[in-house]
Structure 1
Amino acid sequence: MEDGARGDDGQSLKGTDKTENFRVRLMTTPSEFSLLFEWAIAEGWCPCVYDAESYYKQDPTGYYLAELDGVPIGGLGTVKFGADVASITQYIVKPPFRGKGYGYRMWQEVMKTIGDRNLFLESAPAQRSNYEKSGFKSSWQTIRFRGVGRTDDDHAVNNAEDRVTLVSVDKVNFDDFCAFDQKVSGVSRPTLLKSWINQPGSINLVAVDSIEGIGQKREYRIAGYGCSRLCYEGYQSTSFSRKIAPIFAESSAVGLQLFNALVATVPPEIPFYIDVIDVNENAMQIVSEFGLESISSITHMFTKCNSVQQNMVYGVASCDIGF
């Protein structure tokens, strides 16, 4: 089935039977996207406030809604990156409809739209064996850490090797920025990156090594970058937290410098989150020395190969899309 293909009615996939009016169809309105993210907030996933819009820009044919008798009961997203890679995200069935097979039926129908791509997802511990039956392999554990913005100036983790300059992302060439991200993530995603760095309230820093050129011209080399985005703290919360996501860096010194700078932007008493992969021991050491609290753990899974440069990941860009 071609990317974004729909069923015979032009909108629904073939997810009906003779006993009930169950169907899976492509989401088509902003309110439907918002509904899925509201469910994610209720699950305690703390999605970023504007990420739904960013994912839609990356793949406007990637989100599906499961309906029973015309009532939405679940959803599933597939964010595609070109012809070779896709991320499975926001796989949710509303609690009253769980354990009745609707989620699996939705999964089967949506998987028909993806083709032969390499798939990524983040699995809760209880679901890992189910994904393994579908051909997924386990990689690392993604651990979510929580902290709170502080008022003192001496809370940063000591870093004796601050050797790069941190600049706003708009000070570097966007193509160079995208190339560094692809070096770490393994995928080309300029559309998503452009949306991420332009989200309201976001802070986006790039670590550069400056090299003196001829005359007044200066050349630079990107050594890392880090972002902070607004995220939901909880269901019906009246305030936003911050998510430090991602921190990609070529060394632990650069990763630490970006971490300190981004944590320093969090307002006092405001919670912040960062998702760290357990196989990067340097990243784990940073959050440990800062005293962050571990609050949850999920498993990064894939179907074909894991192209992420894990030694350069000091904070995951998004657990929604897996890297």
Structure 2
Amino acid sequence: MAEFEIRSASAREIGLMRDWADEEGWNPGDSDRWAFAVADPEGFLIGRLDGEPVGCISAVRYGTGFGFIGFYITRPAVRGRGYGMRLWQAGMDRLQGRTVGLDGVVDQQENYRRSGFVRAWNNVRFEGVPAAGGGAGALPEGVSLVDGRSLSFGRLAAYDRRFFPQARHAFLAAWVGLPGRRAVAAVRDGEMRGFGVVRPCSGASRIGPLYAADKQVAAALVHALAAEGQGAAVAVDVPDCNGLAMELVAELGLSPTFEAARMYSGPVPEVDRAGLFGVTSLELG
């Protein structure tokens, strides 16, 4: 009888999880795993069958009351044998007693509902080269764009907390600071009015997070971040609960390519949805 075991993933195995996600067509960031690993080093679980990695899940703890499920993958050759359910249970056991979030792909959403998850909104991935002048309009008076890494980390972390259920300092520091990424902030009179990060991926470079006080600021951030790719395509995961964000990607000429439901088990966290133009990551929230 084959022996199946689940344990915390090594740093190398977190990289393997990223490669599996790429094979699934999820277009993970080239260096995302380094930020993921510091978010909760023991929150990445790997399933081994007779010593061979065949499945994974992440169950990352944030603060004392929130957790996020991601990287829920079973390799095609062993699907339908119950190993995925065992990984799921191991991940949920690790987050017991917390509100848990996830981004569920379409064909798994009914399973998540049966596990007690409720849809809060859909995250729709839009891709393409932003149209010149799309989302047109000058920045609001007094607002300027600056290198996000030039701001104090305390300011960035406080601003990020408006859009995420718990503080995530270690993750955020790595997410913004990894080589090959660009972070841009919108500032007026010392107050942050927007923030975004772009990172290289296997396919279109992904923008996330994308926070903004209004559509004009969000448009300016997208154009500034997209300029890093010198005309290459970008992608952003847009919450459909933000009507202005959906308007913006249409004006930018971006096309929908992928969709997942943001779902929660437990109370739906209160975040600034009106300012959330693009989520950080479908894997870690």
Bin the TM-score by the shorter chain. Answer: over 0.9
Q: 1:230 pairs with 190, 196, 200, which one?
A: 200
| Native 8 Å contact 1:149 1:266 kept in 2 | no
> Separation in 2 of the partners of 1:130 and 1:287?
30
> Separation in 1 of the partners of 2:32 and 2:217?
26
Of 280-289 and 110-119, more deviation after overlay is shown by 110-119
Identical aligned residues as a percent:
31
5 Å matches for 1:1-323?
19-28=1-10, 30-148=11-129, 154-163=132-141, 164-210=143-189, 220-233=190-203, 241-268=204-231, 270-304=232-266, 305-322=268-285
> Separation in 2 of the partners of 1:148 and 1:93?
33
More helix by share: 2
RMSD, matched Cα: 1.5
Normalising by structure 1, we get a TM-score of 0.84
How many pairs does the alignment contain? 283
Normalising by structure 2, we get a TM-score of 0.95
List per-residue Cα deviations over 1:272-320 (Å, max 9, x = no partner).
1111111111011111011111111110001122323211111111111
Aligned-partner residue type, residue 204 of structure 1: A
Aligned-partner residue type, residue 284 of structure 1: M
| Native 8 Å contact 1:93 1:103 kept in 2 | yes
> What 5-or-longer segments of structure 1 have no aligned partner?
1-18, 211-219, 234-240
| Native 8 Å contact 1:149 1:264 kept in 2 | no
> Separation in 1 of the partners of 2:33 and 2:149?
23
**Structure 2 vs 1, CA of residues 180 and 79 (structure 1 numbering), >3 Å: closer, same or farther?**
same
> Separation in 2 of the partners of 1:186 and 1:253?
25
Q: Which SS does the other structure have where 1:20 is aligned?
A: coil
> What 5-or-longer segments of structure 2 have no aligned partner?
none
List per-residue Cα deviations over 1:16-37 (Å, max 9, x = no partner).
xxx4311111112x22111111
Greater C-alpha Rg = 1
